[in-house]
Amino acid sequence: MLISIVIPLYNENESLPELTRWIDEVMQKNNFNYEVVYVDDGSTDGSWEVIENLKKQYSQIRALRFRRNYGKSAGLNRGFDAAKGDIVITMDADLQDSPEEIPELVRMITEDGFDLVSGWKKKRFDPITKTIPTKLYNWAARSMSGINLHDFNCGLKAYKQDVVKSVEVYGEMHRYIPVIAKWAGFTKIGEKIVQHQERKFGVTKFGIERFINGPLDLLVITFMSRFGKRPMHFFGVYGTLMFLLGGAVSAWLILEKIIGLANQTKVREVTDQPLFYLAILAMIIGTQLFTAGFLAEMISRSSHDRNNYHIAETID
């Protein structure tokens, strides 16, 4: 059994030697056959030269380098493509993830039968400005995805090979790989409490923008998982409801006017009532939603991967 350890990195030249040595010690102690796949995300601090030197000492190292910085999701996606292992471990390069967790993660995949095991940094060494938003986003992710994980964004995870070869990670979707995996049909998702190490070198590469992009990415994944191949079921339903609601209110106002005239009672003009314009607005929005659903359905049906379904196994 081969274990692939995929590590995306950006400007981590100081931590790479210690991390590589630590991984090798753990893997040798457990008699694991392994490879380390470093993905250099356009580092400018000499990280690639460090990896080249480490390769001379550790034959298990494989690596690739981007011409510029594309982000963690791109690094993981290319790392998943390159990984050859039956089990794939992902971890960060900043020494905040402990390689000592790898044997138990492997056991949970091989013996407990999980498709994916996500780390949970229950005790963190992060400032409160990071921990509170993280808890809120994890709560939102649990509520929207139905996956009972406490730490969706933990970099330390273990996967069966089928999982990493079936998912596509893009944009900043690395935060929600468990959600993407569930969407692909891998429902056996577990969690393990892992150690969170204090950062020894460098600084964090993530800024305040992650607190904005994270919820938006979650909305995209949730929508795509439910309506990606049938967008009319979303836009068409709400568009039809909005149009019918606006039409019903308009019809009621017109009928009220007709009844008032028949009874010779004083009734406001239909066009003088704000409710009439709200009804017209609802009908316009409903029409736009329905049209958006129709266009999205046409785009979906012309997509090259419209019939790209995840097959678990076959019998010939």
Contact 113, 190 (CB under 8 A): no
Helix (H, G, I), strand (E, B) or coil at 189: strand
Label residue 310 by pLDDT band (50, 70, 90).
Answer: very low
Residue 130 has pLDDT above 90, yes or no: no
Which class does domain 2-227 fall in? alpha beta
Among the residue ranges 77-91, 264-278, 294-308, the one predicted with the least confidence is 294-308
Distance CA 9, CA 45 (A): 11
Helix (H, G, I), strand (E, B) or coil at 155: coil
Among the residue ranges 96-100, 112-116, 199-203, 279-283, the one predicted with the least confidence is 199-203
pLDDT in tens, 250-262: 999 888 888 887 8
Rounded to 10°, the helix 232-262/210-227 angle is 80
pLDDT of residue 311: 47
DSSP string over 217-229 = HHHHHHHHHHHTT
Which of 159, 166, 145 shows the shortest CA–CA distance to 308?
166
Contact 119, 97 (CB under 8 A): yes
DSSP string over 20-83 = HHHHHHHHHHTT-EEEEEEEE-S-SSSHHHHHHHHHHH-TTEEEEE-SS---HHHHHHHHHHH-
Contact 114, 190 (CB under 8 A): yes
Task: Tell me the CA distances in angstroms from 240 to 100, 222, 274, 275, one per residue in order.
Answer: 55, 22, 22, 19
Dihedrals phi, psi of 126, to nearest 5 degrees: -110, 155
Percent of the chain at pLDDT above 70? 81
How many helices and strands in the chain, by DSSP H and E? 10, 7
Q: Quick one: tokens of 150?
A: 């406490």
pLDDT in tens, 154-173: 889 999 999 999 888 877 77
Q: Quick one: tokens of 121?
A: 């940094």
Q: In DSSP terms, which residues pair with 158 in a beta bridge? A: 89, 117
Residue 309 has pLDDT above 90, yes or no: no
Domain ranges of the chain: 2-227, 232-301
Distance CA 113, CA 18 (A): 32
Could you tell me where the beta strands, DSSP code E, fall in 149-269?
157-160, 189-193
Helix (H, G, I), strand (E, B) or coil at 192: strand
100 exposed, middle or buried (CB, 10 Å; 0-12, 13-18, 19+)? middle
